[in-house]
Chains A and B, each alone.
Chain A
Amino acid sequence: MSSRRSSRSRQSGSSRISDDQISDLVSKLQHLIPELRRRRSDKVSASKVLQETCNYIRNLHREVDDLSDRLSELLASTDDNSAEAAIIRSLLNY
């Protein structure tokens, strides 16, 4: 590990900082993913986190699409001037 560090910092001075930054961000990312949060935090590799993030974002997209459909159904049957309709519209226009 230490040799990897040294070999990197030899390449460029700032890469060490961004390495730390990246691992910081990856762990933040990990905490946003329910699937990974349940695990022991230090046992998940960065590439696993990224992979899961991709999957998770795709799932979120799917979910948002589903809910958008449901909301537009709801909107269609709601009084156009009602507060509910306005809320639903604002959610759909996100």
Chain B
Amino acid sequence: MSNNQAFMELGWRNDVGSLAVKDQGMMSERARSDEDRLINGLKWGYGYFDHDQTDNYLQIVPEIHKEVENAKEDLLVVVPDEHSETDDHHHIKDFSERSDHRFYLRNKHENPKKRRIQVLSSDDESEEFTREVPSVTRKGSKRRRRDEKMSNKMRKLQQLVPNCHKTDKVSVLDKTIEYMKNLQLQLQMMSTVGVNPYFLPATLGFGMHNHMLTAMASAHGLNPANHMMPSPLIPALNWPLPPFTNISFPHSSSQSLFLTTSSPASSPQSLHGLVPYFPSFLDFSSHAMRRL
């Protein structure tokens, strides 16, 4: 990793950090550039860089992510105990100004490997791991965990919603919304007819059918008085029904029939279209409003 990249990352990290964090960042930048020169000279770039970066990161993180409990535990383990948090970089700087190679040697044998492993093992999504990840992962780990939770739920939704073939979030959500609206509408229809079957003849003035259906309903234990309540699942605010645009419900000749309700319905076809326009729906609606 080049020095420039390291700087960029520090800058990015400081966006969210407090002023204190920024100051630390500045310090470590200076320390890093000194160290970097040395490291490059010694050809030990890789190990040291990761090591140093890890330290920097660990110093900054606790101030930003106090709420990440899981990460905290790791952090406590990983923070080097020889140096106090703020003094660490002074040390580095002082040593490097004297260009004391022993510092690095000592540091190398302190067990940088162990620290590196700890950082890696605390990162459970290692498939995306690259060399610069340790500094970024912690910051993003909370977000990633949340994102993963989200996409799990997205997958569940996708299973629940039929004909949902695309996997991107927008189309899954789109399909879900559409499907839910249709389901709610379907339930409204079904509960209106199934729960209160005699409303059709009553409204249309089918005296004979009315008697017949009422008798039938009571025979089936469908006491209208008890079953009038709408399902709590159906939102009451949807009640003034929208026209049936996206439902395969035939409503070809409904208009004409609706205007001449006194004439007996001749074909079942035309009755389909009539259902949503029934006056009893509006009564139902106010009833539902009161209950919810």
The residues of A with any CB-CB pair to B shorter than 8 Å are 2-4, 6-7, 18, 21-22, 25-26, 28-29, 32-34, 37, 46-47, 50-51, 53-54, 56-61, 63-64, 67-68, 70-71, 73-74, 77-78, 82-88, 90-91, 94
Q: Bin chain B's interface residue count.
A: 35 or more
- CB of B271 closer than 8 Å to a CB of A: yes
Q: State whether A32 and B233 are in contact (beta carbons under 8 Å apart), knowing that A63-B187, A77-B219 are contacts in the complex.
A: no
9 contacts between A and B (CB under 8 A): A18-B170, A37-B237, A50-B156, A70-B195, A71-B190, A71-B193, A73-B220, A85-B268, A90-B250
> In the complex, what residues of A have CB within 8 A of residue B181's CB?
32
Check if A53 sits within 8 Å of B157, measured CB to CB: yes
Check if A64 sits within 8 Å of B161, measured CB to CB: no
How far apart are the CA atoms of A56 and B193 in the complex, in Å? Answer: 22
> In the complex, what residues of A have CB within 8 A of residue B169's CB?
18, 22
> In the complex, what residues of B have CB within 8 A of residue A22's CB?
169-170, 173
Q: State whether A74 and B197 are in contact (beta carbons under 8 Å apart), knowing that A32-B184, A46-B150, A58-B160 are contacts in the complex.
A: yes
> In the complex, what residues of A have CB within 8 A of residue B235's CB?
32-34, 37
Check if A26 sits within 8 Å of B173, measured CB to CB: yes
- CB of B26 closer than 8 Å to a CB of A: no
> In the complex, what residues of A have CB within 8 A of residue B68's CB?
none
Check if A70 sits within 8 Å of B265, measured CB to CB: no
Q: Could you tell me the distance in whole angstroms from the C-beta of A76 to the nearest C-beta in chain B?
A: 10
Q: Of the candidates A34, A54, A77, A90, which one forms a contact with B160 in the assembled complex, judged by CB atoms under 8 Å apart? A: A54
Known: A26-B173, A57-B183. 18 other contacts (CB 8 A): A3-B15, A7-B140, A18-B170, A32-B177, A32-B180, A34-B292, A56-B233, A57-B160, A57-B179, A57-B180, A64-B190, A70-B195, A74-B197, A74-B216, A77-B216, A87-B193, A87-B275, A90-B250
Check if A28 sits within 8 Å of B183, measured CB to CB: no
> In the complex, what residues of A have CB within 8 A of residue B180's CB?
29, 32, 53, 56-57, 60
Check if B190 sits within 8 Å of A28, measured CB to CB: no
The residues of B with any CB-CB pair to A shorter than 8 Å are 12, 15-16, 140, 143, 146, 149-150, 153-154, 156-157, 160-161, 168-170, 173-174, 176-177, 179-181, 183-184, 186-187, 189-191, 193-195, 197, 200-201, 209, 213, 216, 219-220, 222, 231-237, 249-250, 265, 268-269, 271-272, 275, 292
